[in-house]
Structure 1
Amino acid sequence: MDAAINLSVRFVQRYLPSAFVLAVILTFIVFVLGITTTGTSPLDMASYWGKGFSSLFTFGMQMTLVLLTGYVLALTPLVQGWLNSLTQRASTPRQALVLTIVVSFVCYYLNWAFGMVVGAILAREMGRRVIGLHFPFIVAAAYGGELIRGPSSSIPLVIATPEHFLEDAIGIVPVTETLYAWWNVALTASLLVLLLVFYLLQKQPKNIIQFKGSAEKPLSGQASHDDRPMTPSDRVEHSRLPTLFLGLLIAAFLGGQWLEGSFSINLNTVILIFLALGLLLHKNPAQYLQAVERAIGAARGIIVQFPLYAGIAGMMTNSGMVTAFSEAIISVATPATFPLLTFFSAGLVNFFIPSGGGQWAIQGPIMMEAAAAIGADPAQTIMAFTWGDGWTNQIQPFWALPLLGVAGLAARDIMGYCLVWLLISGVAIAGTFVALSVFG
């Protein structure tokens, strides 16, 4: 295993370009494939790219705010104290790995955005505090749980909702048959065990890369011009009242939703929770904005690259490439093999359209209507698609950008480890669907 890891790391570090350049290369590949496989003209492909470019603006802003508000929350004195307490429990690289993997995995299970921020910040703190820890290694370990599909997974939740857009084809599929099916719970638990075993069995490389950053300096929350008397506007900026009012306003809104029964964990509520906690736990607007200034640089990759993948999705969708690929899978599937083939096809398409909701809207109806037509199990097909959508995130820098931004690493620093974990987790997930097809 060590030889495979070393080979993978060397290969990725040598040949994987930056995340931005990779997005440009994927754009070129899809552009050429659209012309050669569907007969679409170059002008039309360019038009599809341009029309798709802005389709992820909302999602990109949500991801930017998730990262920003989560990072700002992590800089509050209370969370810094919690991180200090947690990291002090780890005195060796092995202990640091166990704590980081378990905490980030649980957080990913609850909500992937929450897990991304917590995992990134915890890995950063472990890298700063634990002597002899290979920093890219623990960042990759923190990212390993991202493939987990937990109770906030949108696709199973949509299919379980009355009047969803595929109800006429497959009906209502309750989450007890998808997310909380015994086999899916067992698969989730087994992946945590495999993730721990995979990283704990690896030897630290000879040339250890330590975390190069320094400890976060405490935020003062004081005016930068202490040499002159504070003006009325300065007093407002350094008063507790503005952030306290806004934080309590958000808390009241979320509490009202909870009482009404309309509260659900999604990107918007995660942002609001992070925002409210950050406002309440920083002592004044000045300190809060100091934290924002410190955190904003971590979001640069999201801002630049998300629109490029939206353009790729536009080309794949409008040229008919996704439909043609899905129909090719359907043509060779049987009721027993359909979930397994759905898993692999969703994983492949996800590499080019790394947005679960966008991919489901394009590919999902085709696959689910086919599942109903050939008699494949709809619950297994839904979860196969859901797992496939998350599986190849391990080698798709699109989803690692928030974590890499916080860690200050490039994609090539962690993708060698992620590539091997992709293969191991893929065997476990695919093996589950093979076993279900054989034993029912």
Structure 2
Amino acid sequence: MEAVTQFSVRIVQRYLPSAFVLAVILTAVVLVLGVALGGESPLAMAGYWGEGFSSLFKFGMQMVLVLMTGYVLALTPVMQRMLTRLTRQAGTPRQALVLTIVVSFVCYYLNWGFGMVAGAILAREMGRRVAIHFPLIVAAAYGGELVRGPSSSIPLVIATPGHFMEQAIGIVPVSETLYSSWNIALTLALLALLVLFFLLQKHPERSVRLETPEADEADAPSVHHHDGSFSDRIENSRLPTLFMGLLAASYLIEQAITEGFSINLNTIILIFLALGLLLHNSPAAYIGAVEKAVGAARGIIVQFPLYAGIAGMMTHAGLVTQFSQAIISLATPESFPLWTFLSAGVVNFFIPSGGGQWAIQGPIMMEAAAAIGADPARTIMAFTWGDGWTNQIQPFWALPLLGVAGLSARDIMGYLLIWLIISGTAIAGTFVALATFA
């Protein structure tokens, strides 16, 4: 296993382009497919790209804010002390890997946005305090991103009365999807496999801590020199950040009391914002931390619109429909969830947005499932798992983590390529077993 992984790491480091260049290559591939298979003209494909370009602006801004507010929270003195105590629990590379994987996996299970920031920060701190190959522990922190937990939007939508496909498939409760016994067993099995896989990896000979003056300096908020003026006293006063933090916290508490507490991207942003404001000592300290965080978001800002353009081309050229119908033609009622998982994984590589992919591909797959008599709950979870599976080799979703860690996609994708095969085999095998023994 270690030899196979190291071979994968060498290949990826040599041939994988940067995340931005990969997005450009995927754009060109989809444009060619739209002309060749969709019968569209290059000019029409350019128009579809332009129509889709702005469709992820809101989501992209949410991701920037999740990353920025989470990063700023991690730079507070209180969080730095907590991270230090947590990382001290790991005295060896193996302990560091296990602790990072388990904590990240649980955070991803609760909410992928929270897991992304928490896993990246924990991996970075472990890399500084334990003599471990840094790309290895960052890859380990990202490996749990494929888990589908209670914040997974697709099963929640299908369980909600009035959803847009209710007439075709009815209401499918989460007890049959997210909280089914087989799905819980699969989740635990993936955690065990993830820990085992990374424990089997031999550290490269040069295993050093991520501990450089530049890195420590980059995390230190900007120094603000005091001159005693009124504006200076306000900038270094506790009151402005305390007021805004309490205001945000009050809103969250009021919402939880009146409407019930639910975790989504907007909630996470507000929680991180409130805690960051309350735990930083002044506006100057908070903005100094923001300066350090903004640079980590540059990949999101540049690349999210590119993938939105790809989604626009695939949708309007009918490529998703053609691919989905080709998969449906191969399926039986028993094998349909497996084919759904595989097809969702392939489409996800080009449209790495769960909501966007579900809106395009979901209705096709679910209507076909109803027509051939496939189990709707298993089909939904197959789609959900497929949507997360190929995130392991899609740098799009790793951008927030890579931004915090200061690495490039090629540094971690060699490990994740092998994990993709292992996890895909486990998930696919589960659907095969369900079809065989049901």
State whether structure 2 residue 37 is matched by structure 1 residue 37: yes
Deviations 1:319-375 (A, max 9, x none): 000011111111121110000000000000000000000000000011011111111
Q: Distance in 2 between matches of 1:312 and 1:332?
A: 26
Q: Secondary structure at the match of 2:402?
A: helix
**Structure 2 partner of 1:136:** 135
Q: Residue 402 and residue 349 in structure 1: after superposition, are their counterparts in 2 closer, same or farther (change >3 A)?
A: same
Q: 2:264 aligns with which of 251, 263, 266?
A: 266
| Structure 2 residue 276 is the aligned partner of structure 1 residue 278 | yes
Following TM superposition, by how much is the alpha carbon of 1:206 offset from its aligned partner in structure 2, in angstroms? 2.3
Which aligned pairs between 1:329-408 and structure 2 lie closer than 5 A? 329-408=327-406
Aligned residues: 436
Provide closer, same or farther for how the CA distance between residues 176 and 295 of structure 1 changes in structure 2, counting only shifts above 3 A: same
Q: Percent identity?
A: 74
**Conserved? CA contact 2:130–2:209, under 8 Å:** no
Contact 2:177–2:183 (Cα < 8 Å) also in 1: yes
| 1:74 match | 74
- The one-letter amino acid paired with 1:36 is A
Question: Aligned ranges for residues 317-332 of structure 1 at < 5 Å?
Answer: 317-332=315-330
Mapped contact 1:404–1:410 kept (Cα < 8 A) = yes
Shift of 1:197: 0.4
Alignment of 1:12-411 (within 5 A): 12-131=12-131, 133-208=132-207, 210-211=209-210, 213-214=212-213, 216=216, 223-224=224-225, 226=226, 228=227, 230-411=228-409
The structure-2 alpha-carbon separation of the partners of 1:7 and 1:250, relative to structure 1 and needing over 3 Å to count, comes to same
Q: Aligned equivalents of 2:222 and 2:285: distance in 1? A: 4
Among 425, 428, 433, which residue is 2:426 paired with? 428
Rounded to whole Å, the distance in 1 between the matches of 2:229 and 2:126 is 42
TM-score (ref. length: structure 2)? 0.97
Instruction: Give the Cα–Cα distance (whole angstroms) in 2 for the partners of residues 313 and 262 of structure 1.
Output: 34
SS at the partner of 2:37? helix
Do the aligned partners of 1:170 and 1:372 also contact (CA within 8 Å) in 2?
Answer: yes
1:210 to partner: Cα distance: 4.4
Distance (Å, rounded) in 1 between the aligned partners of 2:209 and 2:272: 29
Closer, same or farther: CA 6–378 of 1 in aligned 2, 3 Å: same
Q: Which deviates more, 211-220 or 249-258?
A: 211-220
What is the letter of the counterpart of residue 420 of structure 1? I
Partner Cα distance (1:219, 1:419) in 2: 34
Q: Secondary structure at the match of 1:38?
A: coil
8 A Cα contact 2:221 2:292, kept in partner? no
Q: CA deviation at 1:256?
A: 1.1
CA, structure 1 residues 48+212, in 2 after alignment: closer, same or farther (shift >3 Å)? farther
Give the CA deviation at 1:223: 3.1
Unaligned runs of 5+ in 2: none
What residue ranges of structure 1 are gaps of 5+ in the alignment?
A: none
Maintained 8 Å contact 1:136/1:209 = no
Q: Which moved more, 1:106-115 or 1:232-241?
A: 232-241
- Distance change in 2, residues 1:239/1:219 (3 Å): farther
Counterpart amino acid of residue 438 in structure 1: T
Q: Distance in 2 between matches of 1:158 and 1:313?
A: 21
Distance 2:63 2:98 in 1: 27
In structure 1, C-alpha distance between the alignment counterparts of 2:423 and 2:324, rounded to whole Å = 23
Contact 1:34–1:40, Cα closer than 8 Å, also in 2: yes
Letter of the aligned partner of 1:389 in structure 2? D
8 Å CA contact 2:221–2:289 kept in 1: the answer is no
Q: CA deviation at 1:294?
A: 1.1
Q: 1:221 to 1:392 in 2, by over 3 A?
A: closer
What is the SS of the residue equivalent to 1:364?
helix
The alpha-carbon distance between structure 1 residues 333 and 270, as it changes in their structure 2 partners (threshold 3 A), is same
Deviations 1:260-286 (A, max 9, x none): 134311111000000000001111111
Runs of 4+ in structure 1 deviating by more than 6 angstroms, as ranges, are none
Indicate conservation of the 8 Å contact 1:160/1:172, yes or no: yes
Tell me the CA shift for residue 52 of structure 1: 0.6
| Cα RMSD, aligned residues only | 1.3
Moved more, 252-261 or 103-112: 252-261
Q: Deviations over 1:76-125 (max 9, x none)?
A: 11110010001111121111101100110110001001111011011101
1:238 Cα offset (Å): 1.3
Q: CA deviation at 1:257?
A: 1.2
| Contact 2:136–2:412 (CA under 8 A) maintained in structure 1 | yes
Deviations 1:382-429 (A, max 9, x none): 000000000000000000000000111110000000000000000000
- Aligned residues of 2:222 and 2:289 also touching (Cα < 8 A): no
Separation in 1 of the partners of 2:342 and 2:52? 25
Q: Which amino acid aligns with 2:99?
A: L
Is the 1:223–1:234 contact (alpha carbons within 8 Å) kept by the matching residues of 2?
Answer: no
Distance 1:220 1:432, change over 3 A: closer
